[in-house]
Structure 1
Amino acid sequence: GGPTTLNNGCLLCRTCHRAVHHTDWDIIMGADRHPWLIPPTDIDPTRQPLPAYNRRTLTLAA
């Protein structure tokens, strides 16, 4: 739904990547610059964003 850039990217395992492309799951980058998962309506009719369990860091580890 937007440009592919390093600022809005997040790593996904194969299962989650396929779910985003082939089901009604969505991902947004929150104001906290971390990914938030939006479940399909059959899981949550209000589609409230959920914080990703694998929060990315904003620095490079040495």
Structure 2
Amino acid sequence: TDKSAISESKEYFNLLNKRIRAALDEGVDASEITNLIKMEEFKNKAMYDILNQTNVSKAFYELEFEE
């Protein structure tokens, strides 16, 4: 349903944000981030294989410049 999709999307991006911030605090760099953050709990979602690495990379660069 639309409500569950919205809820899952919020959960995904909140977890992604939290994990990337933790990685930045640990000094992880861009070359390592997509290997480190997999978001495995969402691997059965549509388009995970296509979008997850891109989401991780883009979020990393956005949050990196925020720091």
* Shorter-chain TM band: under 0.3
Q: Normalising by the residue count of structure 1, what TM-score does the alignment of the two structures yield? A: 0.24
Flag the structure with higher helix content: 2
Flag the structure with higher strand content: 1
Higher relative contact order (CA 8 A, sep 6+): 2
